[in-house]
Amino acid sequence: MKNKPIVLIKYGGNAMLSESLQQQVVQNITRLHESGYQVVLVHGGGPFIKKMLDTVQVESEFVGGHRKTTPEALRYIEMVLKGEVNGQLVRYLNEAGLQAIGLSGKDARMVVAKKRYHIEEVNGKTSKHDLGQVGDIVSIDTSLLSLLLENNYLPVFTCLASDEEGNDYNINADMFAGHLAGALKADHYLVLTDVDGLLKDIEDKDSLIQSLVVEELNELYGDVIKGGMIPKVQSCDIALREGAQSARIINGTKPSQIFQSIQKNQSIGTEICLQ
């Protein structure tokens, strides 16, 4: 039985590239923790991965807009995500007085993955494309996570997992976070992005959609929900359907929204509800 409400935060994008913004995000996470919330952080690292692959001259092949990950590329991706991004976030959080611990889905076999294929239909024909070491989540065991949270630790996840045979995969961070929020029955799932939420018109900052129910999402794909916002909205859908109590997309470049968004009567970002 949960003693304290759980907040799962998916962190990435521009709010991760600025050291100043990173520190402000950490301050707000610390404030949440001190206010009685159990916090789990899931991070991405796309820009850091691109920089590393460019540096070591590992070329990326894209299939239908999805990066194909070779075993060679995955070695560098794991190096960056664990050694640079995760390590830095853990250090900042610990410097703020928290007990952060760096993890991936591979640890204690918390997350089991399977190979992901990109399916597309062209001229009525369906084709299946191999994306290499890119995976989808099959199952999550939250027993270790629950133990860590009960003992006041703050888990910081990088999105790697293995399949039943021990093959490693890189998992989309939004999908990883959504499934984890659902498995933990998180009270609040916050997706940080670089805009104020889901906008009817990306060029109009005043066109924010404050709330949606999941049944309304399908008709918005391709028009309102497009590009990088697609996996963020999908992750909210997954989180809610799998057990999270609430899901909200907020602006990670305004770190104060992290704390404000879970306060009662605060209409910040876009809230997505089951009904």
Sign of CA dihedral 155, 148, 4, 23: negative
Report, as an integer, the average pLDDT of 111-122.
Answer: 90
* Structure confidence by residue, pLDDT tens digits, 127-163: 888 899 999 999 999 999 999 999 999 999 999 999 9
Q: What is the CA radius of gyration of the chain?
A: 18
| Tokens representing residue 152 in the block | 């006041």
Report, as an integer, the average pLDDT of 67-88.
Answer: 93
Question: For position 220, what pLDDT does the model report?
Answer: 85
Q: Which residues of 173-187 are buried (b: 16+ CB within 10 A; e: fewer)?
A: bbbbbbbbbbbbebb
> Average per-residue pLDDT in the chain?
91
Q: Which domains does the chain have, with CATH numbers?
A: 6-106+140-160+169-270 (3.40.1160.10)
Question: For position 113, what pLDDT does the model report?
Answer: 98
Write out the H or E segment, with its range, that includes residue 13. none
Report, as an integer, the average pLDDT of 22-27.
Answer: 92
Report, as an integer, the average pLDDT of 166-187.
Answer: 96
Residue 8, helix vs strand vs coil: strand
How large a percentage of the chain has pLDDT more than 90? 62
Report the predicted TM-score, pTM, of the whole model to 2 decimal places: 0.93
- What is the DSSP secondary-structure string of 165-217? T--EEEE-HHHHHHHHHHHTT-SEEEEEESSSS-BSSTT-TT-B--EEEGGGT
